[in-house]
Amino acid sequence: MSSSHRASVAAASVGSSNKPAHRLAEEASVGAASSAWLLARPAATAALIIAVFLAVRLVLMLAIGFGNDEAYTLAGARALHLSYFDHPPLHIWLAHVASLVVGETRWVRLPFVLLFAGTGWLLFLITRHLYGPQSAVWSVLALNLSIFFTVSAGGWVVPDGVLIFSLLAAVHALLPVLTPKQNGDTASPWRAWLLAGLWFGLAGLSKYNAILIALGLVAFIVASPRHRRWLAHPAPYLGALVALVILTPVLVWNARNGWVSFAFQTSRGLPQSGLHPVQVLAMMAGEAAFLSPWVVVPLVAALVGACRSPGRDADRLMLALSLPAIVIFSIAPLWSTRGLPHWPMPGWLFVFPVLGAWVEKSHSRWFSPPKWAIGSTVAFAVVLVVAVGLTAEGWASRGVAASGAGRDPTLESLDWTALRNADAVVATHPAFVVTTRWMDAGKIALALGKDVQVAIFSDDPRQFAFGPSIDRFIGQDALVIVPAPLLAEQLPRLKPYFTTFDLPEHVWLGRHGRDEVELAIVPAHGLLRPYPLPYPSTGSATESTGVRP
């Protein structure tokens, strides 16, 4: 018996010396049975984890209102276009279909919630293939304990959920040919690469940063002598052609609109004046918060360990898929604008299989997998309960108001439905409404319904610039709706576009009868001309293709 084992036995004896023998035997029997169940049934354990967190996300789906991005997406999803300004169209198409079934209610999130359950199972299959079934269970648990993946990608109407499902499906399709099992089974390279092309195409139809994962795959093949033979095989090229065909709607829409979506996204990484190391630190801190502190520590440890000694094809494949997105998006704020922490998340996704293997073998004095699992689950539950309370109940508003610290960030999820009961709205039944910010436009559009067109009079109208033209409203009246604190600044900019304005009506919105958001509603008479749009367009004006007039 080793000295470490003797020490653990002695410690157990000291801690249990006061318990009756039959009690000790009973506890040992229960513990052994539980461990045996988990060891013998990893697939069932993973399925149970996925089911439990699915139930959690269903509760969150109904408990929290739409954020700015979701409201903006749902407003844009009212019309089917080939593509959209901010992102490719797949998640918006899905939201459009869902809203036809359940309306623009919180149930529209249901397809995204269910899709993430499939994401968890794909992660289990990939990790089991690469590292074994026990590692796969740890990876699934860690993914579901991550705030970003469970809450945002796992249930919000945003592109990330569709993206990560498609990326995992693409990699899963390629595993039989990239890392085949040593059991004599053969996989069809044509089937593998065509399926991968299909899923990579759908990933690109979800979000542009899917290209970094595809480039990582190419780098893995080029760098590996054993896999370099695929460069001479026609199947990968046919798969790439399939992906390109699937991306045709994005290319056609952008070609008709001056490549405006590509220009918008790439401009975020263009060099600015000077270097900004503080932005890099802020980006990394944001990534850690999104991944959750209890997940990011073992995640980084696993990534560093794999980088230091990538001895297996599995490690090298996961590193090739993960590092391009993580490195590029993490350091880009050094020379460009402030990045957003969710940008590198597709890269971190492919570290979770490595984390699963790291957790399985990391039994040490400072890290115990069972204790980490229990502690992380408790921490996740506490944070989630507090976050739901702050958001749905408005607990934070009272504290922020009392301290004078500024605006409560949870107000982003506030439902603006009460806006439709404002006197000016009821009296005028406006055909169109003018506002000045895209994040307000989405909220207004959902509040007032599909019969009211919302126009943004500013240099950043985003997708609202590609809806139906407001030329038909020239000479007609409108309502200008802006946050009340911005009225003095924004109203003078709107005066050249209308003949006259009436006095504003001030409306308060809030949770549980509290006044939290003040809006100003200004009747505007006689539209003189539309606000000039800042985006180029080379196509014809048809709503069905999403090309602006």
Which pLDDT value is given to residue 537? 59
* pLDDT range class, residue 37, cuts 50, 70, 90: low
Least confident of 27-41, 284-298, 306-320: 27-41
Say yes or no to pLDDT of 216 above 70.
yes
Say yes or no to pLDDT of 36 above 50.
no
- Amino acid symbol at 332: A
Say yes or no to pLDDT of 464 above 70.
yes
Which pLDDT value is given to residue 514? 87
Question: Is the model more confident about 210 or about 185?
Answer: 210
Instruction: State the Rg of the chain over Cα.
Output: 27
pLDDT digits (tens, 9 = 90+) for 420-443: 999 999 998 888 999 999 999 999
Question: Is the model more confident about 262 or about 367?
Answer: 262
Average pLDDT of 453-478? 94
Phi, psi dihedrals of residue 40, rounded to the nearest 5°:
-85, -20
Which pLDDT value is given to residue 405? 52
Average pLDDT of 511-539? 87
Q: How many CB atoms lie within 10 A of CB 60?
A: 22
Average pLDDT of 510-534? 92
Which pLDDT value is given to residue 32? 40
Average pLDDT of 238-267? 96
Which pLDDT value is given to residue 185? 57
Which of 119, 122, 88, 317 has its CA nearest to residue 220? Answer: 317
DSSP secondary-structure letter at 542?
A: B
**Which of 184-198, 341-355, 461-475 is predicted most confidently?**
341-355
**CB burial class (10 A; 0-12, 13-18, 19+) of residue 500?**
exposed
Q: Give the DSSP H or E segment for 432.
A: strand 432-435
Longest dimension (CA), the chain: 92
Say yes or no to pLDDT of 186 above 80.
no
Q: What's the CA gap between 331 and 275, in Å, rounded?
A: 11
* Inter-CA distances, 20 with 7, 23, 239, 458, Å: 22, 5, 65, 76
Strand 432-435 vs strand 478-483: parallel, antiparallel, or unpaired? parallel
Average pLDDT of 231-256? 97
Which pLDDT value is given to residue 385? 92
Say yes or no to pLDDT of 17 above 50.
no
Which pLDDT value is given to residue 365? 76
Q: Whole-prediction pTM value? A: 0.89
- CB 286 within 8 Å of CB 279: no
* Inter-CA distances, 427 with 88, 440, 441, 504, 506, Å: 39, 22, 21, 14, 15
Kindly state the tokens that stand for 400. Answer: 């922020």
Say yes or no to pLDDT of 352 above 70.
yes
pLDDT digits (tens, 9 = 90+) for 449-463: 999 999 999 999 999
Which pLDDT value is given to residue 390? 86
The helix, strand and coil proportions of the chain, stated in percent and rounded to the nearest 5, come to 65, 5, 30
Q: What's the CA gap between 114 and 79, in Å, rounded?
A: 24
Say yes or no to pLDDT of 400 above 60.
no
Average pLDDT of 507-517? 90
Supply the angle between the helices 293-308 and 352-361 in degrees, to the nearest 10. Answer: 90
- For the stretch 337-343, contacts whose Cβ atoms lie closer than 8 Å and that sit 24 or more positions apart, written own/partner, are 337/268, 337/272, 338/276, 338/279, 338/282, 338/283, 339/268, 339/279, 339/283, 340/286, 341/148, 341/283, 341/286, 341/287, 341/289, 341/290, 342/148, 342/152, 342/160, 342/290, 343/209
Which pLDDT value is given to residue 11? 38
Least confident of 39-53, 70-84, 148-162, 179-193: 179-193
Which of 109, 106, 82, 84 has its CA nearest to residue 94? Answer: 109
- CB 189 within 8 Å of CB 145: no
Q: What's the CA gap between 230 and 227, in Å, rounded?
A: 6
Percent of the chain with pLDDT over 90: 76
Compute the mean pLDDT over every residue in the chain, rounded to the nearest whole number. 88
Average pLDDT of 19-45? 55
Which pLDDT value is given to residue 549? 33
Which pLDDT value is given to residue 183? 60
* pLDDT range class, residue 541, cuts 50, 70, 90: very low
Say yes or no to pLDDT of 57 above 50.
yes
Tokens 């504290």: give the residue.
399
Point out which residues pair with 481 in neighbouring strands: 521
Say yes or no to pLDDT of 40 above 50.
yes
* pLDDT range class, residue 396, cuts 50, 70, 90: low
Least confident of 36-45, 276-285, 373-382, 395-404: 395-404
Q: What is the dihedral of CA 66, 70, 75, 77, to 10 degrees?
A: -130
